[in-house]
Amino acid sequence: MDSDRRRMYSLGLMAFILFLSSTVGIPVLPRIAAELEADPTEIPIVVAAALATVVVAQLFTGFLADRYSRKTLIQIGALMGSASSLLCVVATDWTQLAALRVIGGIADAVAMPALLAITASLGSSRPGKAFGILRSSQGLSFVIGPALGAAFSFVALRAPFVVDGLLSLGAFFASVVLLTDTDRVAPAHSFSVFRGLKSTFSDARVYLYLMMGISGIFGFGILCSFVPAKAQIIGLEAWQIGAILSGGALLFSVMSYVVGSVTDKYGRRIFVILSQALIIVAGVGLLFSNGFATLFLSYGIFCVAETITYLLSFVYASETFDKRHIGASVAVFDSLMDLSLLIGPLIAVAVHKSTGRLGFVFLIAVIPAATAFFATSVWLPREAKSDVCYDEMGEKP
């Protein structure tokens, strides 16, 4: 195994531990918040505090990965995350719990751009594989994390926070052993990074790649909420709903790894266009699903397609960004897509309340994909750097 490949898998392990840590406490947050006297309108604040913080903070923390040691930033994020999680064990008020979740979100916002920047630099010859390993690790953590948290909640309600803190601490020590330090890029002064971002997003291709990613993740945010709602309406059991959601997360993990490697060899354009069509097909399938099998199949098709377009949007974009400002660029790119993850459900809820029809929600979820299908068919280059095939060693033929 060559040096770059070892670093890819080491980074994937680091990402898995950090993402796993961030998902372990989710199952117990609503109950703990309620016990700490949060009312029904305040509980969602506690639950969403970390994700909302990451989305906003990454807009400003990405430049750190261009100026300072990325290994050190990952370690700082891991230590901050560990401390905030362990302090959740002794929180005595829901506002304290929410504040600690915000700190945990800041910790992720410090570490994540560094992880993305290292991945982009490692992926110079095999970008699909590099990002595939990273996102596969993320997806696997979403499968295991909540289940692990639920299991430890039987020991004690706040035990998942102890596990969370220890996992983050483990990530710190793992980074000491597994990660080699990376060259840092030091712009003349901090504000030059914003000039770099302006230059990056003045390239029209970046907006196309952003549309590709949003076409999947916008719908994902909606379906994570409304697929369980439809499952409940048609009379499915709790284990069936859990199987549908867990199966989707597992598909995300597997497909990230497979598609990343395959597209490095055979090109990406056709996969991007096909994924948009499959998202539309999945949305129609969800609209007409009336049983466990059809709902499971339709949601599975959506997760496969969403994984492809989400993953490849980062691959294309990372090759476009100015390498001097790669940390800031990938952080803002990631945050803008995560923002659509929050906006999508809000739009869907508003439409559902105003119309009272669940079917419209599934159609709204695929509107960005319909737009992206047209845009990528017309404007995604047929002969682009991203479409170059690589041989088994990751070299251009």
CATH number at residue 26: 1.20.1250.20
Q: Are residues 146 and 259 in the same domain?
A: no
Which uninterrupted H or E stretch holds 286? helix 269-288
Query: What per-residue confidence (pLDDT) applies to 327?
Result: 86
Domain count, the chain: 2
Q: Are residues 148 and 206 in the same domain?
A: no
Query: What per-residue confidence (pLDDT) applies to 26?
Result: 86
Tell whether 396 is covered by a domain: no
Q: Are residues 35 and 111 in the same domain?
A: yes
Q: Are residues 196 and 176 in the same domain?
A: no
* pLDDT (tens digit per residue) in 236-253: 888 898 889 889 989 999
Tell whether 391 is covered by a domain: no
Query: What per-residue confidence (pLDDT) applies to 127?
Result: 83
Query: 67 falls in which pLDDT band (50, 70, 90)?
Result: confident
Q: What is the mean pLDDT of residues 5-30?
A: 86
Q: Are residues 220 and 161 in the same domain?
A: no
Tell whether 118 is covered by a domain: yes
Query: What per-residue confidence (pLDDT) applies to 104?
Result: 92
Q: Are residues 258 and 213 in the same domain?
A: yes
Question: How far is it, in rounded angstroms, from Cα 256 to Cα 134?
Answer: 8
Question: How far is it, in rounded angstroms, from Cα 333 to Cα 154?
Answer: 39
Question: How far is it, in rounded angstroms, from Cα 373 to Cα 127?
Answer: 23
Q: Which of 180, 215, 250 delimits the end of a domain?
A: 180
Q: Are residues 324 and 343 in the same domain?
A: yes
Query: What per-residue confidence (pLDDT) applies to 181?
Result: 61
Tell whether 320 is covered by a domain: yes
Tell whether 307 is covered by a domain: yes
Residue 321 DSSP label: S
- Residue 389, pLDDT above cutoff 60: no
Query: Average pLDDT of the chain?
Result: 86
Question: How far is it, in rounded angstroms, from Cα 82 to Cα 170?
Answer: 9
Q: What is the mean pLDDT of residues 90-110?
A: 93
Tell me the whole-structure pTM to 2 decimals: 0.87
Tell whether 397 is covered by a domain: no
Q: Which of 180, 208, 235 delimits the end of a domain?
A: 180
- Residue 189, pLDDT above cutoff 60: no
Q: Are residues 139 and 55 in the same domain?
A: yes
Query: What per-residue confidence (pLDDT) applies to 94?
Result: 92
- Residue 23, pLDDT above cutoff 90: no
Contacts of 371 (CB under 8 A, 6+ apart): 211, 215
Count CB-CB contacts under 10 A for residue 288: 10
* pLDDT (tens digit per residue) in 68-98: 889 999 999 999 999 999 999 999 999 999 9
Query: What per-residue confidence (pLDDT) applies to 384?
Result: 45
Q: Are residues 358 and 221 in the same domain?
A: yes
Question: How far is it, in rounded angstroms, from Cα 13 to Cα 171?
Answer: 9
Q: Which of 180, 203, 225 delimits the end of a domain?
A: 180
Q: Are residues 206 and 243 in the same domain?
A: yes
- Residue 203, pLDDT above cutoff 90: no
The candidate with the shortest Cα–Cα distance to 316, out of 209, 200, 196, is 209
Query: How is residue 262 written in tokens?
Result: 């395959």
Query: How is residue 288 written in tokens?
Result: 């007409």
Tell whether 97 is covered by a domain: yes
**CB-side neighbour CA atoms (13 Å) of 223:** 32
Q: Domain limits at 130?
A: 1-180
Query: What per-residue confidence (pLDDT) applies to 162?
Result: 94
Query: What per-residue confidence (pLDDT) applies to 106?
Result: 94
Tell whether 395 is covered by a domain: no
Query: What per-residue confidence (pLDDT) applies to 386?
Result: 42
Q: What is the mean pLDDT of residues 306-319?
A: 94
- Residue 281, pLDDT above cutoff 90: yes
- Residue 313, pLDDT above cutoff 90: yes
- Encoded amino acid at 211, one letter: M
Query: What per-residue confidence (pLDDT) applies to 13?
Result: 86
Query: What per-residue confidence (pLDDT) applies to 17?
Result: 87
Query: What per-residue confidence (pLDDT) applies to 196?
Result: 56
- pLDDT greater at residue 123 or residue 285: 285
Query: How is residue 172 written in tokens?
Result: 């710190």
Q: Are residues 201 and 274 in the same domain?
A: yes
Q: Are residues 143 and 222 in the same domain?
A: no
Query: 186 falls in which pLDDT band (50, 70, 90)?
Result: low
Count CB-CB contacts under 10 A for residue 382: 8
Query: What per-residue confidence (pLDDT) applies to 387?
Result: 45
